[in-house]
Chain A
């Protein structure tokens, strides 16, 4: 059996993987920078918490509604994002994060500064699920996100996103409905963040506005960028490494923002594609090694 502490860490990392994968849809594949991903995690967490504690719905309906509501709000909030690009988009999404956090913080319905408590772990056949069971659920959701990622990147949607990311105007001239595909990216990415938020709320059993602040958005974005934006493996590895770092090293916990910031600076300078990006050092060396070994085999 895994120790309780280890399971807790693994669940946290797992939730970050879901968040990183969902942000990767928006920022990695569709190329729309978002500095407000934690807002949609928060919308999912609060939706789930409110349906669970106030409406008396069970875990499963609350969980699914969290994804649905976050996806819908992501679609609506994508509209002001459509007219802006790059740095203006970054500021717009940042603004969305502040507005959403302030809404949770100042409106009593959302528990204001006190947050919402009493959100339990889900029950199976009347019995509260064990932490290991919850970890299995998180892993299942990660599996679904990976399947969605694979399906999207191999379909026309992935190709259309790539075109929009590289040259929006050329994409339009090729018949791609740029608006529709941008909205789709925000909708799917936000829905993923909403599901992660729900898992987060039911695991912590207590949520506060500060959990979904701009700083949290930066943590998620750091994970995506660190691992390798626009790839499947990148955000997963980024979430594992940056998620485990504060647990492994106390100083890294205390100076978390500083460590992440430094890592990002170094990365942007030396490996802008992330440690596992398509053209980064590690994958290239790995491919070279593979070719060398293959040649060695056929040579004998």
Chain B
């Protein structure tokens, strides 16, 4: 079976600095894959390269068997790849509903857009209450809901989540992870990049450890969670 996403020897550099040094991994339909690692290990860089927001120096990215390494982001979005970026990046002056409608930009039928908004409001009732408010007036947690709901509008084949728990209060972190787990149970394929290794490993099916741009460990999430090296470095002993 062809993997949904296949990354081969991906190398991304910022000028002289190699942020990602030839990593390979793949995601199969229905996976909840997590890449854990310290700040600056290259996690976000990897996701941004998969979305097409960064151009890799070398390596290949294949989506459903088709090479997309040089394709611009908007065409990858049309193939069904969606990123919830770090820092949420919702559109501050647009209303919640407009943000959601923009998420459905690649959805051709108006009826499907309306259905998508209904689905988003069912998943996050808070957003329904705030539908007409400008994005910037939402709280951090609500903005995170909006960012995830917006990415789901197009019913993506692959959802890329970049540090979704960052800057949220603990109760919201738990809620966010519960939402991700629920999405996965409903069949979503997710690539989750996290500093919060404990939570990420608790819900993921498979995991990779990224250290200074290279993958040092990989396996099932349960195996990695039990690995002494991972325990010591990422789970606090």
Contact = CB atoms under 8 A, between A and B. Distances in A.
A156 B105 contact: yes
Contacts, number: 66
Interface in A243-299: none
B155 interface: no
Interface stretch (B90-98, B164-172, B190-198): B90-98
Contacts of B90: 170
B51 A162 contact: no
Contact of A162 (B52, B73, B91, B154): B91
A177 interface: yes
Given A160-B105, A162-B98, A166-B94, A175 B154 contact: yes
Contacts of A160: 102, 105
B93 A173 contact: no
A82 to B, nearest CB: 12
B95 to A, nearest CB: 10
Contacts of A174: 74, 77, 82, 102-103, 105-106, 150
B91 A167 contact: yes
Given A159-B102, A178-B74, A173 B91 contact: no
B91 A166 contact: yes
B81 to A, nearest CB: 9
Interface string B101-118: 111011000000000000
A172 B53 CA distance: 8
A159 B101 contact: yes
B37 interface: no
A163 B91 contact: yes
Contacts of B94: 159, 162-163, 166
A206 to B, nearest CB: 44
| Secondary structure of the A contact surface, majority rule | helix
A166 B77 contact: no
A7 interface: no
Nearest to B94: A162
B213 interface: no
B70 interface: no
Contact of B77 (A156, A162, A167, A173): A173
A172 B93 contact: no
Interface in B106-162: 106, 150, 154
A167 B98 CA distance: 14
A170 B85 contact: yes
B72 interface: yes
Contacts of B92: 166
Nearest to B106: A175
Contacts of B231: none
A173 B98 contact: no
Interface string A155-190: 010011011001101111111111000000000000
Contacts of A166: 91-94
A280 to B, nearest CB: 14
Contacts of A177: 74
B57 interface: no
Nearest to B136: A166
Contacts of B51: 173
Nearest to A158: B98
Contact of A170 (B52, B89, B98, B101): B89
B77 A175 contact: yes
A171 B91 CA distance: 9
Most buried by A among B90, B91, B154: B91
B78 interface: yes
Contacts of A163: 91, 94, 102, 105
Given A156-B105, A166-B94, A176 B89 contact: no
B32 interface: no
Interface in B186-231: none
B82 A173 contact: yes
B115 to A, nearest CB: 17
Given A159-B102, A166-B92, A171-B102, 13 more contacts: A159-B101, A160-B102, A160-B105, A166-B91, A167-B89, A169-B53, A169-B89, A170-B85, A170-B91, A172-B52, A173-B52, A174-B150, A175-B77
19 contacts: A156-B105, A160-B102, A160-B105, A166-B92, A167-B89, A167-B91, A169-B85, A170-B91, A172-B52, A172-B53, A172-B74, A173-B52, A173-B53, A173-B82, A173-B83, A174-B74, A174-B105, A175-B77, A176-B105
| A-B pairs, 4 with minimum CB distance | A175-B77, A175-B106, A172-B73, A166-B91
